[in-house]
Structure 1
Amino acid sequence: MSFYISIDPGNKKCGLLLADIKSGKVIEAGISSLNNFSDLVSFWNEQYLIKKIIIGDGTNCRYIENELKQKKIVNLKYVNERGSTLRARFRYWEIWPPNYCIRWLPKEILFPPDNLDAIVALILLEDCLKYTFIWPEKVNIKIWP
């Protein structure tokens, strides 16, 4: 198996996503504080054969890079994240379609109930690889401290 990690850096938190390239599925996803994200990335790096780490090129991307390099984690690739948050709103509704009552409303006026950082990380990975991943029902968006 071949795994990728995708990171959407922010000011206080970041979206993290672990995906299996061969199966095309998301393995784990969530949101972590900037203080602790590198511990989770290190853990994933030890547990899985991580081929590449994708990082959005926006807010705090250099901080993310420095933290990972301190832990001797390499194979980093930056991806343009312009417009990814808006696109994540639409992607959210593709993964979790709205219930019957609001299904017919335009997606532009619907705001997802969950934090979108993990979905943005998915968008970054899909943009980088030009591939749409499957989000299995059993994978929930986690919040790591």
Structure 2
Amino acid sequence: MAVILAVDPGREKCGLALVDEKTGVIWQRVVPAAELMTTVGQFVQQGAVQTVVAGDRTGSAKFKTQWDQSGLSAKARLVFVDEHMSSVEGRRRYLRDHPGKGLRRLLPIGLKTPDQPFDDYVAVILAERFLKKNASLGME
């Protein structure tokens, strides 16, 4: 399996994360929804990934339609994973990694608000869920 591309599809913006099953996160970004298929296509066409993992809720139907029309399924497989509570986990991880400055550092995470989109962190969570599920099934 090696490297997977995780996608948190949304209406206006989407989170992307390139994750190696052994070393972890290689790359992560938030991109406008209009650029999603171009970015995914670049990774798949370069042969960087053979598996694309996507959340199964907001934006997933549109992403599936775009995927089917793109012809990328000949080069990589698309797998949907349960997105339940992934935004909450992604928010928590973003705030942990970006604690803020000054007095803001002292606030509990529950009282902080992210200062930028964290959809890429949600994509990382989705990748981890996929890898964990496949490891527990003994799949490589």
**TM-score normalized by the length of structure 1:** 0.78
Cα distance in 2 for residues equivalent to 1:22 and 1:9: 25
CA RMSD of aligned residues (A): 2.1
Cα distance in 2 for residues equivalent to 1:72 and 1:90: 36
1:18-57 mapped onto 2 (5 Å cutoff): 18-33=18-33, 35-57=34-56
Q: Structure 2: give runs of 5+ residues left out of the alignment.
A: 134-140
Q: Structure 1: give runs of 5+ residues left out of the alignment.
A: 132-145
Deviations 1:76-98 (A, max 9, x none): 11111111112211100222233
4+ residue runs over 6 A deviation: none
Alignment of 1:2 with 2:2, yes or no, is yes
Contact 1:56 1:80 in 2 (8 A): yes
Corresponding residue of 1:128: 130
Secondary structure of the structure 2 residue equivalent to 1:124? helix
Query: Which amino acid is the alignment partner of residue 99 of structure 2?
Result: P
1:73-92 mapped onto 2 (5 Å cutoff): 73-74=72-73, 75-92=77-94
Query: Which amino acid is the alignment partner of residue 57 of structure 2?
Result: G
1:44-123 mapped onto 2 (5 Å cutoff): 44-74=43-73, 75-123=77-125
How much has 1:100 moved relative to structure 2? 4.5
How much has 1:22 moved relative to structure 2? 3.4
Identical-pair percentage: 29
Cα distance in 2 for residues equivalent to 1:97 and 1:106: 10
Which structure shows the bigger proportion of residues in helix conformation? 2
Deviations 1:9-43 (A, max 9, x none): 1122221222233322232422222x331111111
How much has 1:127 moved relative to structure 2? 1.8
How much has 1:52 moved relative to structure 2? 1.0
Corresponding residue of 1:11: 11
Query: Which amino acid is the alignment partner of residue 110 of structure 2?
Result: E
Contact 1:18 1:29 in 2 (8 A): no
Query: Which amino acid is the alignment partner of residue 9 of structure 1?
Result: P
Contact 1:2 1:49 in 2 (8 A): no
Cα distance in 1 for residues equivalent to 2:105 and 2:13: 31
Q: How many residues align?
A: 130
Cα distance in 1 for residues equivalent to 2:26 and 2:100: 21
